[in-house]
Amino acid sequence: MTFSKRLWFLALSVFTIQAYASSPVKVVTSTTDLAWAVKEIGGAHVEVQSLLKGTENPHFVDAIPEFIRLVSEAQAVVIVGLDLEIGWMPKVLTRSGNAQVQPGGKGYCEAGRAVHVLEKPTGDVDRSMGDVHPSGNPHFWLSPKAFAQAAGPIAQTLIAVDPAHTADYQVGARRFTELMEEIRKKNAAKLHSLIASISGPVLMEYHKEFAYFLETYGLRSFGSVEEKPGVAPSAGRLAEVALAAKGAGVRFVLAGETAPKKTLEKFTELSAMPVAVVPMSVQPHAKVKDYPAFQEYLVDTVAKQLGSRTL
C-alpha cells in the first residue's frame, strides 16, 4: 500500500468513527411521557421515539410488528416497568433480536425501579381481586414528584450506552429533577386555596390510577367507581357507589380517556356528579404536547371542577 493510499484509508476510518461517535443515541420508549423525559435528560445526544402515541391504555397493547422493528434498531429501550407493559413488551424485546436492550442488557431501562411505589399489595394477591399490580401502582408519571425519581435510571442507561457524554447526562438528570419540582410547585399553588376549604373527599377515580397525582397535590379521594380494578362495575355497584359518593359530598369523578364512556354516563345519570375525562399521557399531536402542558391540563381540570361548584 502506498503512502497516499494509507493516508486515504486512515482519513476514511477516522471520518467513519467520528460520524458514528457523533450520531445521537437511538432510544425507544414505551410511552410518550418517557420519550419526553429522555429528550429532556439526553438533549441533543439522543434521538427518541415512543412506541405508544399517548392515547392507548398501555396495559393492553399488542406486540405490533412495527414496534419490534423500531426496538431492533434501538441502542436503549426505556419502559415504565412495574408490570405496566408486561402483556406485550417482553414479546417485542425478544423478537427484536437485540441483546443490548433486553433485560440484563446495558440499554434496558425500567424507569419505575427507582420510584417510591404506592399501593403495593402486602398480602396474597390473586386475579379474583381484579387487575391488581403485585409490584404496586405503575402510574407514577402522573405526578411530577414521582416522575422525577425516574431520572436516575434513565441517566444511568444513557451513560451506559454513551459514556462519552456522562457529564451531560448527569446535568440533564439534575435539570429534569429541578424542572419537575418547578412544575409541581406551580400547579400546587393553583389548587391550594381550592382544596383548603374542603374537609371531606374531593373526588373519586373511575380506576385507581391517579394515586401519585392525588398524593402530590394533596387531593383526597373517596375511592374508585370500579369495585375491583380493571373490572367494569355492575349496575348495582354503580348505584351503590353513586349514592355513597353523593352523601360524602364528593365533587366529581376523575377518569382516564380509556375508561368506558357508557359506564361513566350511567354514573353521572345516577349521581348527578360530573365526570372529568383527562388524557393519561403526553399526546405530542394534541393539546398536551409535552409534560408541562400535560400536568397543567390535569391540574386545571381539577381546579375547574372544584371552582365551578359552591364550596
Residues that bind other proteins (CB under 8 A): 56-57, 59-66, 68-69, 72-73, 86-99, 102-105, 127, 131, 230-232, 258, 262
What angle is formed at CA 135 by the lines to CA 94 and CA 227, rounded to 5 degrees? Answer: 115
Residue 179 C-alpha from the chain's centroid: 16
The distance of closest approach from Cβ of residue 87 to other proteins in the complex, given in angstroms and rounded to an integer, is: 6
Residue 1 CB neighbour total at 10 angstroms: 8
The distance of closest approach from Cβ of residue 222 to other proteins in the complex, given in angstroms and rounded to an integer, is: 24
Q: How far apart are CA 98 and CA 266, in angstroms?
A: 47
The distance of closest approach from Cβ of residue 91 to other proteins in the complex, given in angstroms and rounded to an integer, is: 4
The distance of closest approach from Cβ of residue 156 to other proteins in the complex, given in angstroms and rounded to an integer, is: 19
Whose grid coordinates read 500500500? Answer: 1
Residue 172 C-alpha from the chain's centroid: 19
Phi-psi region of 54 (alpha: psi -120 to 50; beta: other; left: phi over 0): left
**Nearer to other proteins (CB atom), residue 88 or residue 291:** 88
**Nearer to other proteins (CB atom), residue 56 or residue 296:** 56
**Nearer to other proteins (CB atom), residue 85 or residue 162:** 85
- Lookup: cell for 119: 399501593
**Nearer to other proteins (CB atom), residue 5 or residue 127:** 127
Phi-psi region of 83 (alpha: psi -120 to 50; beta: other; left: phi over 0): left
The distance of closest approach from Cβ of residue 283 to other proteins in the complex, given in angstroms and rounded to an integer, is: 13
**Nearer to other proteins (CB atom), residue 166 or residue 234:** 234
